[in-house]
Amino acid sequence: MMRILNNIPIRRKLTLIIMLISTVALLMASAAFIISDRLHTEKNLGNNLLIMADMIAANSTAALLFRDSPAAIETMGFLDSQDNIQAGVIYDINHSPFASYHKKGITIELPEPAGQTQNIMFWDDYVEVFADIDYEGEQIGIIYLRSDMQAINDRLALFFGIVVIVLLASLLVAFALNERMQYIITAPLLRLSAIARQISIERNYSLRATGNSRDELGTLTKDFNAMLDEIEMRDKKLKQNQGELEERVVKRTRELEVTNKKLASAKQQAESVAMRMQHQAQHDGLTGLPNRALLNDRIQIELSHARREETTLAVLFLDLDRFKIINDSLGHATGDQLLCVVARRLRKCLREGDTVARLGGDEFMVLLPRINAVADADQIGNKIIDELARPVSCNGHKLHITTSIGISIYPYDGSDANTLVKNADISMYRAKELGRNKTVYFTSEMNAGSRKQLVLETSLRNALEKNEFKLRYQPKIDINSNRIVGVEALLRWDSPGIGFISPREFIPLAEENGLIIPIGEWVLRQSLAQLKEWHMAGHDDITIAINLSAAQISKPGFEDVLKDALLESGTNPACTELEITEHAAMKNIETATITLNKLKKMGVGIAMDDFGTGYSSLSYLRRLPIDTVKLDRSFVHEIPDNNGDVLIAQAIIAMTESLNMELVVEGVDNERQLEFFKQQGCRLVQGFLFSKPVGADKILAMLQAQAITGSVQPARQ
Ligand code: C2E
Ligand code: MG
Ligand code: MG
């Protein structure tokens, strides 16, 4: 019921309430009226009956006294004219009916008057009255009259009819009035509700409800408007805050975008530096071909496939014939160009999946995995020979080049990478001996005739005794003052039998057969003695950098050798720097860390040579007690034109700055490189631009000239 009431509109509720109240009020008024009217009518009826009874009693005294019942009946005859009288009875003193009257058609049972006195009694549908009949103060009989209630009931029915009509008319009027009047209450409420709805749709909080009555609705409107004032104020504040927030979000988003872009570009740079460094570590700087390290990896991988799949693979060792002549006569630039052309042509001759690598100088190697027959290697070798035989135009020269190729085959000529490469190398020498420009398969007899290796090794064993080693010194320049601040000692071997051999070639050999230990000690003592001479000549601020090999630092007791050499020469340890290549340090990082720490404690400086080529991790570098980093010349060569090299150089410069290390830039051989590193804030450089490695007397002359002029000048190009 309540739910139904809740769901109907207020005006209907008002109508209902008013109708209900009106009905109740009217019903109650009607009931009061009807009851009072009925009581009144009943009283009148009773009184009339009593009057009639008294009249009959008075007129029937004689009839009773004389027992004249017809006279008594006649007396009651007027009752016929009374519509409502049903019956009348006169009883004698003995309560026996004396005379009676009945309206036609009505028969009633005569009541027993015993004990009755003058009395009126109302029953459901009739009224009866008893009255005494007296004569001279004595009762002589009783009169009884009975009347129906028809008149009363008719009147009641009439009244009911009137009440119903009045009620209906009143309700109708009340309804009509209510329909008109209810607007006094509902109109302001509807206005409020309409405004509330409009506000919620339009979000326009400046709207207000109208109405200024002083009743509760007026108060409600006022409160509603006050609430809107508050909402409007908060809305304005909210909008203002929202605006500020949006502005801040936009600003912050812009800042984040900028930061993201910076981060992305830093990440890109870092990735490209890392990729570039990895590429540099695995590729030849001049030709872009894989280097020895990458080739070795590939041979290992292909060997494991070949073992599993029981296939055959070939390793071809190539050496260009008489390349040295071209290099010496036409210059290194032409030599380099020629090597690049050779690299391109080699690539052209091979299938996808084959590898061609440059081992250094004019040596190349080709890996042919999964060959069908041993003869395939020879076929490809000859294809290469033909391809390289085509003349090459370089710097205005038409060059003719041939190549000698040695071939070794897995599984016949070796089961591991080292043996296969060594045997291909041996057979390449055999090809040279056999007149060059040909391919030669390895045969087991050749092992004995690994002449080059043998000759080189025997010569190396005697070189120290025969005093064939020399030291050259390359100045290290402070480019802020253009002054020589130190030199690097570089070993030279000019064998009377073989000729000049690069340290890059004989030092790995000396490391392999252990000769590096006595050779290295000789270099150490010789360099320190030379330094002492320069100091004695008045150039006592000059330092010397001495290269150490991995074998030297891994041999226990090296620190004693150094101590002894320092004592013998009488030089200050602080003027000595020991260079160790990144590769050598990483070979055995644990031993390197221990030994280098011991050396450092003796007061000498430690430099990391050829930095950037070993692709070692920063965490390793931080473990080593390094004072100086030498940026490898492979990164310097194409600066400032090669963007990748520029990025690597900048990254390494930033790294040394943050780790508080000194940086020496190697291989600066032109003004543009010098300008670039000056701009990057680098202080120390080494390179052909200032000087090639030269003899000790030349260094002395340069130092003396510097003492006079105050500086050295780069060679003008
Ligand atoms: P390194 O220690 O990095 O020496 C620098 C090499 O770069 C030297 O080659 C030097 O001649 C060359 N170089 C310097 N400036 C330029 C330049 O502007 N352009 C070019 N193209 N090259 C430049 P070198 O003397 O042939 O030495 C090669 C490597 O042999 C040395 O590299 C070092 O690792 C090793 N080595 C040399 N002497 C010794 C030594 O006494 N002991 C040991 N263990 N290794 C040595
Ligand atoms: Mg060095
Ligand atoms: Mg170096």
CATH number, residue 543:
3.20.20.450
231 belongs to a structural domain? no
For ligand 1, atom 12: residue with the closest CA: 667
Beta strands, E only, 532-686: 543-548, 576-581, 605-611, 628-631, 662-665, 684-685
pLDDT digits (tens, 9 = 90+) for 266-299: 888 888 888 888 888 899 989 999 999 999 999 9
* CA end-to-end distance (rounded Å), the chain: 110
280 belongs to a structural domain? no
Distance 287 CA to ligand 2 centre (A): 23
Distance 607 CA to ligand 3 centre (A): 10
Q: Which of 134, 149, 178 is the last residue of a domain?
A: 178
Specify whether 398 is located in the same domain as 496. Answer: no
The number of the ligand 1 atom at minimal distance from the alpha carbon of 502 is 26
| pLDDT at residue 452 in the model | 62
Q: CA-CA distance, 624 to 599, in Å (whole number)?
A: 11
Q: What is the mean pLDDT of the chain?
A: 89
Specify whether 565 is located in the same domain as 653. Answer: yes
Specify whether 489 is located in the same domain as 435. Answer: no
Which domain, by its residues, includes 488? 476-709
The number of the ligand 1 atom at minimal distance from the alpha carbon of 472 is 25
229 belongs to a structural domain? no
| pLDDT at residue 174 in the model | 83
Longest dimension (CA), the chain: 202
262 belongs to a structural domain? no
Ligand closest in space to the Cα of 503: 1
Distance 610 CA to ligand 1 centre (A): 9
Specify whether 592 is located in the same domain as 643. Answer: yes
The number of the ligand 1 atom at minimal distance from the alpha carbon of 490 is 38
CA-to-CA dists, residue 543 to 357, 385, 431, 546, 609, angstroms: 39, 50, 47, 10, 16
Distance 584 CA to ligand 1 centre (A): 15
Question: 411: cis peptide before it, omega within 30°?
Answer: yes
The number of the ligand 1 atom at minimal distance from the alpha carbon of 503 is 30
For ligand 1, atom 43: residue with the closest CA: 547
467 belongs to a structural domain? no
The share of the chain scoring above pLDDT 90, in percent, equals: 47
Distance 360 CA to ligand 1 centre (A): 14
Angle at 591 between CA 587 and CA 592, to 5 degrees: 65
CB count within 10 Å of CB 681 equals: 10
Specify whether 512 is located in the same domain as 640. Answer: yes
Specify whether 619 is located in the same domain as 497. Answer: yes
pLDDT digits (tens, 9 = 90+) for 42-73: 888 888 888 999 899 899 999 999 989 899 99
Q: Which residue's entry shows tokens 């109907």?
A: 8
Please state the domain count of the chain. Answer: 3
Q: CA-CA distance, 114 to 647, in Å (whole number)?
A: 144
For ligand 1, atom 46: residue with the closest CA: 547
Q: What is the rounded average pLDDT of the residues 96-105?
A: 89
628 belongs to a structural domain? yes
pLDDT-derived band of residue 312, with 50, 70 and 90 as boundaries? very high
Specify whether 502 is located in the same domain as 423. Answer: no
| pLDDT at residue 618 in the model | 66
- Residue of 494, 501, 547 with the most ligand 1 atoms within 8 Å of its CB, for mutation: 547
Looking at the DSSP bridge assignments, the partners of residue 39 are none
pLDDT at 360 over 80: yes
What type of residue is 649? A
221 belongs to a structural domain? no
Helical axes 417-433 vs 292-309, angle rounded to 10°: 110
pLDDT at 126 over 70: yes
The number of the ligand 1 atom at minimal distance from the alpha carbon of 491 is 38
For ligand 1, atom 21: residue with the closest CA: 667
Distance 530 CA to ligand 3 centre (A): 21
Ligand closest in space to the Cα of 521: 1
CATH for 67 = 3.30.450.20
Distance 388 CA to ligand 3 centre (A): 32
Q: CA-CA distance, 703 to 347, in Å (whole number)?
A: 49
Q: CA-CA distance, 195 to 347, in Å (whole number)?
A: 85
Specify whether 341 is located in the same domain as 436. Answer: yes
For ligand 1, atom 8: residue with the closest CA: 490
Q: Which of 178, 203, 232 is the last residue of a domain?
A: 178
621 belongs to a structural domain? yes
Specify whether 426 is located in the same domain as 493. Answer: no
The number of the ligand 1 atom at minimal distance from the alpha carbon of 549 is 44
Distance 560 CA to ligand 2 centre (A): 22
With contact defined as beta carbons under 8 Å apart, do 362 and 356 qualify? no
Distance 344 CA to ligand 1 centre (A): 28
CATH for 399 = 3.30.70.270
Specify whether 374 is located in the same domain as 420. Answer: yes
pLDDT-derived band of residue 669, with 50, 70 and 90 as boundaries? very high
pLDDT-derived band of residue 433, with 50, 70 and 90 as boundaries? confident
Q: CA-CA distance, 717 to 714, in Å (whole number)?
A: 9
Torsion 336-342-346-348 (CA) sign: positive
With contact defined as beta carbons under 8 Å apart, do 392 and 338 qualify? yes
| pLDDT at residue 584 in the model | 85
Q: What is the rounded average pLDDT of the residues 683-708?
A: 96
pLDDT at 459 over 90: no
Distance 288 CA to ligand 2 centre (A): 24
Distance 666 CA to ligand 1 centre (A): 9
For ligand 1, atom 45: residue with the closest CA: 547
Specify whether 480 is located in the same domain as 420. Answer: no
**How would you classify the pairing of strands 355-360 and 363-371?**
antiparallel
Q: Which residues form ligand 1's pocket by a CB distance below 6 Å? A: 474, 490-491, 502-504, 507, 520, 523, 547-549, 579, 581, 609-610, 633, 666-667, 669, 686-688, 693
The number of the ligand 1 atom at minimal distance from the alpha carbon of 474 is 14
Residue 252 structure tokens: 């912050």
pLDDT at 451 over 60: no
Specify whether 418 is located in the same domain as 314. Answer: yes
- b vs e for 238-266, b when ≥16 Cβ sit within 10 Å of the residue's Cβ? eeeeeeeeeeeeeeeeeeeeeeeeeeeee
- Residue of 487, 490, 501, 502 with the most ligand 1 atoms within 8 Å of its CB, for mutation: 490
For ligand 1, atom 33: residue with the closest CA: 547
Out of 109-113, 163-167, 557-561, give the one with best mean pLDDT: 557-561
Q: What is the rounded average pLDDT of the residues 253-264?
A: 89
For ligand 1, atom 27: residue with the closest CA: 503
| pLDDT at residue 463 in the model | 92
Q: Which of 392, 425, 442 is the last residue of a domain?
A: 442
| pLDDT at residue 448 in the model | 53
